[in-house]
Chains A and B, each alone.
Chain A
């Protein structure tokens, strides 16, 4: 693209009073040789904007640098449409508002910020969105229980073609085995009829909703908009092309045979909650062994849950399920004795009313740990427990039946654990290798493993509280109890939410746009394959499994799987990966644009790479709060710290810059990096930099990484100032002036 660049330097918001804007104009016109450069006291106002728009419409300006406030604000105001490239040089929050007015160092900082923006815009090219071939907008739902059926119905109701695949011959899943559902509507005290049959019937109302039962997914290959699915049904294979996938394979009860200490398998009348549903469904609740009508019953909560020996987590529904089952017995015989042994009775929200009802109906609640279960001659059971507080021993009269409220285990927690394939050719171990079990659910033809990566305990949940559908496999969304322990009402909501995300992903992919968290980003990575050395780093390190490999280990990118974080660009030692608006040479030229004063001027320089999601706004916030920090700092925002290519470190140091600071998101189990492991990878790669520094005879202290979140703005000055102090101790970079 032939660029005609114009620079607009705003003098409002205190900028004009604290900077020599004429000198900034010279940077643009003399050094940057831009044909148009204007100053105004209020560029975001109507008059200022009119000037810019006039230059675009009448003077042929097609690339614009606004030297003013941060790109965090006035985003909409300075948007001149897709045909005009726009770059913002931050001289308000990160210069004028954080540094001494009319000071030489502040001025140098503003000039460097403008130089970096000028260098950057030279490298930016207009975006051409990726267009896949034969893209479709069909949703595949794997699992035909409540969640899967609901997801399929919701997608169909929104007008999308849908394919539903269920392993069993019958649809309905877990609900087929239930006698009643816990109450979902006021007055919240009466169990409700199981209505799954109605939903199954409803499926047939949608001609574009195709159901495969007794079927399994043989393979899913491809990418959002273009997944090719092989479905094995009976002995035949059917194929479907779909745009996105919902995993709704649910959970199974914890294996009660592991609960022998609670008498399961040992005593005939110790049964699971699942079995009680079956007995209740047959009419009168009678003992399976001798057919005796049950007059007394004990429910044992957390049978296998909240137990480090079994499931450490709470299964979230068992308390309410037991309350519901207590009503079965009370309905059959109001005089029946019901004991409920529990640790904490967890009946959240309106389920409290069910709890109250069961209490009023005379159930006895005992808070204690089970110490033993005995059987008498008549196969009745005596439950002994220790009261948690008083430590006294409590035991029941003999009861006819004991019900174990077993917890739930997600279907993604089963399967063979293949050797984690995180080896790169050089033998480096990449951090955060994800465990992906061969659970035989999705069978993804992905280099990174056949299923969704899971979090703790095998649930394929999101790591983000504010983004529960954040997924590490683009276009594939988990819903229901495969994602986290949840009840029927939550599963149905979750199904609709996942359907929303699945539809959204297809619509965005169709336009060539990224999905969350970079929706509307039309850029995507391009690979200069002739220089690829098949090192596999990009395929291994991509947090989203976007890149496959051919048999010669060449990367095979899938742009619609890509989340545009740039981790592959950071990983590539040959620097063959770039985006049209974000590339290794682009940042390299920004680094070179920084003017580095001679050693005797005693003005060290610090380059900060700041994650644009959290760290960069945090620095802005320091400005909004009028905090001061060292003016030797120059800041380059990056999509993710994981996109930092190590060559930039070398570029920076060989340019004579004294130190480099990486500001990015927290990593570890509770990571806050929106690209999963970007910040962790950056730290890992930095650990490798020491070799380079040694080769250059430089101290490794010159490169530092700090974790900051958006609210840590009050810590920014201390972080920057202490690093500057350390660099002063180390003395100037010996490469200065070379």
Chain B
């Protein structure tokens, strides 16, 4: 008989969904997440397209589904080290990295108030700082503090130990490895933004006011580094003109040959952030094709009225060193004319790279040349879900994860 339990790797929207859906149908589920909290990249987003609703709303419901659910066990700060066995009977070695904070933590926050060191806030893609003992973000689930051991001064400092009334801090906590026996595995480790610094001619990393679409989500978020005010990094000025550059890395043989499928809608959505805060702001969107599939067309036509759409691939971005303003050079694909446009801020619509491009599943699984798990993965009992399979938006990821949950259950009932 196959083992009835399921391992889900990745606690973003895909993994979270796969775990909750499988368990609500009766399966025992282990959910392993690398970060100290669940929610993954959607937790870092301000709004979803096309409804412009907050991702935290749906996450809250999913977290409640987990809280009430005795069949899910969560392991945060954990990674899969090894997978052995076959469909129906896998032995998985999981390494749990230390949080240095135990379950006694009440999230009262006294520790963070006394912590003397600051670290880069990776939740905000490096914009702003947090103490070395920190809560990943306001909606973090589980709502427990965590210590960044790279930044923490250790026992010599010990200020947080004194501040904590609940003996919740254990500076000597060690990484632990343990084994799980499961019948099936859902691999939902998600995606990362394409490294925009590789697109040399757009100046990301050199020009402060060239940001990426994922960073822009943080800039627009009320719980982001600017408190939801859109301010450009160089001088904190509210930008009067913003350019979105589509296909920054995508649909490009030198970078990502495929279309990342979500960036057009993401930029249109981000244009609404700008317009909501400053209706007079000029918004440009430079694109090859606007891919607003299905009913998203409605959103496109609505936003298109408020912004300037230019069909053309931006050739180069240059910076005025004095003002830090940016000038885009665009070749209009049809007329061949060169257009120059000066703006305050540039947002690169960088594409999606599957997490499996670098971090492969520790078992023989086939991938396509872009690192996506192949539709025929050649490994029964292991199922990709979400953006490790192909670039997709949130609704498609949830759909895909729900399907993957069923496939995983099938592996556990096969005789």
A interface residues (Cβ-Cβ under 8 A, vs B): 12-14, 41-42, 44-45, 69, 73, 75-76, 154, 157-159, 184-188, 306, 312-316, 344-353, 356, 367, 387-390, 456-457, 459, 461-462, 464-469, 484-486, 489-490, 493-497, 499-501, 503-504, 507-508, 516-517, 519-520, 613-614, 617, 621, 624-625, 666, 670, 672, 674, 709-711, 714
Contact = CB atoms under 8 A, between A and B. Distances in A.
Contact of B375 (A12, A185, A313, A390): A185
Nearest to A159: B413
A624 B135 CA distance: 11
A317 to B, nearest CB: 9
A306 B25 CA distance: 40
7 contacts: A12-B165, A42-B106, A75-B67, A349-B260, A465-B51, A516-B24, A674-B61
A613 B61 contact: yes
B406 A389 contact: no
B257 A13 contact: no
B163 interface: no
Interface in B273-306: 289-298, 301
B48 A314 contact: no
B391 A353 contact: no
Contacts of A507: 24-26
Given A12-B166, A159-B413, A710-B56, A621 B311 contact: no
Contacts of A485: 293-295
A349 B261 contact: yes
Contacts of A346: 289, 291, 293
A41 B106 CA distance: 12
B384 to A, nearest CB: 11
Given A42-B165, A517-B61, A709 B26 contact: no
A44 B106 contact: yes
Contact of B295 (A45, A345, A347, A456): A456
Contacts of A486: 294
Interface in B313-349: 332, 334-335
A12 B108 contact: yes
Nearest to A461: B295
Contacts of A348: 259, 261, 291, 293, 391
Closest 6 CB pairs of A and B: A466-B58, A496-B403, A497-B402, A344-B289, A186-B368, A500-B406
B58 to A, nearest CB: 3
B400 A497 contact: yes
Given A348-B259, A389-B332, A710-B56, 15 more contacts: A12-B165, A45-B166, A73-B107, A76-B67, A157-B410, A344-B292, A352-B258, A465-B58, A485-B295, A504-B24, A516-B65, A520-B68, A670-B52, A711-B54, A711-B222
B131 to A, nearest CB: 16
A624 B141 CA distance: 13
A187 B370 CA distance: 10
A621 B402 CA distance: 30
Contacts, number: 228
A613 B24 contact: no
Interface of B: 13, 21, 24-26, 48, 50-62, 65, 67-69, 104, 106-108, 138-139, 143, 165-166, 222-223, 251, 257-261, 289-298, 301, 311, 332, 334-335, 368-370, 372, 374-376, 390-392, 394-396, 398-400, 402-403, 405-407, 409-410, 413
B57 to A, nearest CB: 5
Contacts of B395: 462, 465-466, 468
A670 B51 contact: yes
Most buried by B among A185, A344, A500: A500
Contacts of B332: 389
Contact of B68 (A306, A519, A674): A519
B402 A75 contact: no
Contacts of A312: 297-298, 301
Contacts of A344: 289-292
A81 to B, nearest CB: 10
Most buried by A among B52, B62, B260, B403: B403
Contacts of A461: 295
Nearest to A315: B294
A75 B398 CA distance: 25
B291 A709 contact: no
A613 to B, nearest CB: 7
Nearest to A368: B334
A42 B223 CA distance: 29
B172 to A, nearest CB: 20
Contact of A41 (B165, B335, B396): B165
A466 B13 contact: yes
A190 to B, nearest CB: 14
Contact of A497 (B53, B104, B406): B406
A75 B63 CA distance: 11
B374 A186 contact: yes
A456 B259 contact: no
Contacts of A516: 24, 65
A500 B405 contact: yes
A666 B143 CA distance: 26
Contacts of A14: 108
Nearest to A10: B106
B57 A350 contact: no
A709 B297 contact: no
B53 A493 contact: no
Contacts of A352: 251, 257-259
A315 to B, nearest CB: 8
A614 B64 CA distance: 12
Contacts of B301: 312
Nearest to A612: B64
A13 B108 contact: yes
B138 A625 contact: yes
Contacts of B369: 186-187
Nearest to A184: B375
Contacts of A466: 13, 48, 55, 57-59, 61-62, 394-395, 398
Contact of B53 (A314, A389, A465): A465
Nearest to A517: B61
A347 B68 CA distance: 41
Contacts of B258: 349-350, 352-353
Given A348-B391, A501-B402, A672-B53, A314 B296 contact: yes
Nearest to B413: A159
A136 B405 CA distance: 22
B375 to A, nearest CB: 5
A613 B60 contact: yes
B54 A154 contact: no
B53 A75 contact: no
A500 B294 contact: no
Contacts of B51: 465, 670, 672
Contact of A500 (B222, B390, B402): B402
Given A186-B369, A348-B291, A484-B295, A468 B335 contact: no
A503 to B, nearest CB: 6
Most buried by A among B61, B223, B409: B61
B41 to A, nearest CB: 13
A672 B61 CA distance: 12
A41 B55 CA distance: 35
B407 to A, nearest CB: 7
Contacts of A621: 138-139
A239 to B, nearest CB: 27
B166 A314 contact: no
Contact of A158 (B58, B68, B409): B409
A617 B60 contact: yes
B301 to A, nearest CB: 8
Given A13-B106, A389-B334, A468-B395, A520 B52 contact: no
Contacts of A456: 295, 298
Contacts of A517: 61, 65
A464 B58 contact: yes
A73 B143 contact: yes
Most buried by A among B165, B291, B406: B406
B80 to A, nearest CB: 23
